[in-house]
Amino acid sequence: MTKRIDLLTSTRRPKVTQNTIAWWQAQGWEVVCWDNTDNPPGVGRNRILFDFYTSPREWLIMADDDTTLYTHRYRTQQFLTCDWQTQTDVDLFCVMSNQEMSRGFHYTWWDTDEFNQQYTYKLDPAITKFYCLRNTGTEIYQQEWMGLEDFDFGMQYLEQGYTVGRLMNVFLREQGYEKSSLFRDYAHRKECYAHGKEEFNRRWGIKRKKTVLDLFKPRGLWHKHPTHDWICADTEFNQRFTDLFEG
């Protein structure tokens, strides 16, 4: 199993980068850095992707240089063993972010034994920040936009018939809030996002993520819940998950 992470780095925040490298190395992982200073994320990520596609590796874990994990949250510590690489139902996924963890504390099922005994995925093509992707034999690359290039990446996977999701009980931790390596300020971030949204809508003709979810028919152990979209887990847990939401 691959304990390697490819980090997209920038010279603009060396302390953040070094802290991130040290964290992953402390977990026993190999760290490979790819400098992408002053370029859109897709430029550097495509270099990482090409290197992966031309290698014998089965899985790629790719992240920004401010990304570590909350090891005490749910199945995050177990995730670091890479035992999830044996699953066959999800081809591309990301993990939960800090903000999603804060918003989701009202989900009581996060604290159930059932939820923490296995990895549980939710359909979500809007992957971001931390990518885990299987070498499917199909080379898919990112747009060189400054916003929503990650959502477009997930859409390309769906278009090819692959499954895309979010791992709901593993959580990332961002170290770089104080200084972005990409945006000058909030106004610049907003401008780039607006441009990415325009390009995404032009390319896919989709303005609501729900539209994508309605079209998606995943393979394997995926369960369609009437109000909470698609969940991927073993058959027994799918029923318990439904009961938790409906109880």
Tell me the pLDDT tens digit for each residue of 99-126. 665 555 445 555 566 666 788 888 888 8
pLDDT in 10s for each residue of the chain, 247 residues: 789 999 999 898 899 999 999 999 999 999 999 999 989 888 999 999 999 999 999 999 999 999 999 888 788 899 999 999 998 889 999 998 866 655 554 455 555 666 667 888 888 888 888 999 999 999 999 988 767 788 889 989 988 889 998 898 888 888 755 555 565 566 766 766 677 677 777 888 765 555 566 666 677 777 776 555 677 765 555 555 455 444 3
Burial degree of 4 (CB within 10 A; 0-12, 13-18, 19+): middle
Pairing of strands 92-96, 222-225: unpaired
Q: Please report how the helices 41-53 and 149-159 are oriented relative to each other, as an axis angle in degrees rounded to 10.
A: 40
Ranges of beta strands (E only) in 41-120 are: 59-64, 67-69, 92-96
Domain parsing of the chain, residue ranges: 4-246
What is the C-alpha separation between 63 and 24, in angstroms, rounded? 11
Domain 4-246 top-level CATH class? alpha beta
Distances (CA, A) of 117 to 74, 94, 169, 191, 240: 9, 19, 10, 42, 12
Break the chain down into helix, strand, coil percent, rounded to 5.
Answer: 40, 20, 40
